[in-house]
Amino acid sequence: MIEEGEMLSMISNLLKSLYLFIVKIRSDITFKKHEKVIFLLSFPATSGIVIEAIYNEWGKNLIICYTSEASGLAYEYKKKGCIIYHIDSFKTLIHRVVPLVTTAKVVLCDNYFAFLGSIHSSNDREIVQIWHANGAIKYFGLEARYTQNRSKTDQNRYKRVYEKFTHYIVSSDKMSEIFTRNYQVTINTLPFGYPMTDNYFDPDWIHEKKNLFKQNFPTSKKVLLYAPTYREENSKITNKFNKIVDDLQEDWIILVKPHPHEEGKYRSLNHEDKMFLDFKGLSLTEILPSVDCLITDYSSIPFEYSLANTNGRVIFYCYDFLEYDRMVGIEKDFKEWAPGDIVFDEKCLLEAINAEKETSFDKFNADWNQFANGTSRKKIIEWVRNKNES
């Protein structure tokens, strides 16, 4: 007798197979080429800077195909005259998105998009993975522990998507190796650097954002940013963090950047004059130059912060290191190249904060920001232009 869970899994796999079969049929009967630039968008916070550059170059010839999480940014460009399509609508996906992607010369994307696995293969089309980080501490793709627990059918479906990416934009050879291992494919890299870091090479931009930060947070106190990785399970971190805030010296203000699903947990903490979740309209990118100390765990933020504030310091608060490594996976050499202390409990975290130990990012940036020099967007635009004109 088939168990309920097994039955649900079978039904889910059948629906996924039907979904991809319909995508394949629609893609196979689409032939007419076009020269629009297609952007598959799901991470507006990281992709907005690239989309702006593409729009400045191609205007209304930019078409944005977006997920629900990115609807706000997509609608901004709809007001500017761009065509936008909602990928999460199956009808729109089949009738609009699939034909456009199939016949495009260049498709840019910032994430994994399942339908790509069934798009008709073509030597005339480039699908470029920009990704939403320029470095990795935790495993993803086929290397992630949770993926390895999935069926071979699921894993093969994931791999078909990875194989559709013709190029990967990277900031380092190290990240190229990580993509190769996590996706288990041979990849072509574009060593352009991560677009989000371009602004950190502009002294005027840095100066402007520091002044803007001071206007919104007029204080002489040092600035600490806590930016933890999102965890699927019900984390007890807020209880730990509450004690940390209580015990931290008064010469700090604390900014917290939790995952949107976890904001409520932190808002319940009563530290009105010391802890802030509201950045007053400033993006994470804009506040990083003003952060004196970054506390994170397995997030990709240090790979940006090391360029945004070369005089800053990082502490990795990995209170669940063994569990997270078991559930997700952590890069084996993380402890060797981490540009700051790695601590595992609140006491050691407070000691590390108060010790004010200097952090050197020189080796870290040489390894992870190898190709970053402030010209990533320019290089992307030039590359796309050459492909569209060929």
Distances (CA, A) of 139 to 70, 150, 186, 211: 24, 15, 18, 37
Q: Give ∠ CA 77-93-112 in degrees, rounded to 5.
A: 80
Indicate whether 211 and 173 sit together in one domain.
Answer: no
Indicate whether 249 and 105 sit together in one domain.
Answer: no
Q: Give the pLDDT of residue 258.
A: 80
Query: Rounded to an integer, what distance in angstroms lies between the CA atom of residue 54 and that of residue 381?
Result: 7
Indicate whether 226 and 358 sit together in one domain.
Answer: yes
Q: Which amino acid is at 176?
A: S
Q: Count up the domains in the chain and report the number.
A: 2
SS3 143: helix
Indicate whether 100 and 181 sit together in one domain.
Answer: yes
**Sequence-ordered list of residues with C-beta below 8 angstroms from that of 183, at least 6 positions apart, any chain:** 141, 142, 159, 162, 165
Question: Distance from CA of residue 263 to its chain's centroid?
Answer: 18
Q: Give the pLDDT of residue 315.
A: 96
37-71 b/e (C-beta count within 10 Å ≥ 16 → b): bbbbbbbbebbbbbbebbbebbeeebbbbbbeebb
Indicate whether 222 and 100 sit together in one domain.
Answer: no
Indicate whether 36 and 66 sit together in one domain.
Answer: yes
Indicate whether 135 and 212 sit together in one domain.
Answer: no
Q: Give the pLDDT of residue 389.
A: 83
Q: Evaluate if pTM is beyond 0.85.
A: yes
Indicate whether 215 and 114 sit together in one domain.
Answer: no
Indicate whether 58 and 92 sit together in one domain.
Answer: yes
For residue 56 the two structure tokens come to 């400045």
* Phi and psi angles of residue 295, each rounded to the nearest 5 degrees, phi first: -115, 125
Indicate whether 174 and 213 sit together in one domain.
Answer: no
Q: Which amino acid is at 363?
A: K
| CATH code where residue 75 lies | 3.40.50.11820
Q: Which amino acid is at 269?
A: L
Q: Give the pLDDT of residue 231.
A: 77
Indicate whether 229 and 133 sit together in one domain.
Answer: no
Which residues form the domain of 249?
199-368
Q: Is 13 exposed, middle or buried (0-12, 13-18, 19+ CB in 10 A)?
A: middle
Q: Give the pLDDT of residue 210.
A: 97
Query: Rounded to an integer, what distance in angstroms lies between the CA atom of residue 327 and that of residue 355?
Result: 32
The segments of the chain whose pLDDT lies below 50 read none
Indicate whether 176 and 214 sit together in one domain.
Answer: no
Q: Give the pLDDT of residue 237.
A: 64
Query: Rounded to an integer, what distance in angstroms lies between the CA atom of residue 354 and that of residue 356?
Result: 5
Q: Give the pLDDT of residue 98.
A: 97
Query: Rounded to an integer, what distance in angstroms lies between the CA atom of residue 142 and that of residue 155?
Result: 7
Q: Give ∠ CA 15-16-21 in degrees, rounded to 5.
A: 95
| CATH code where residue 235 lies | 3.40.50.12580
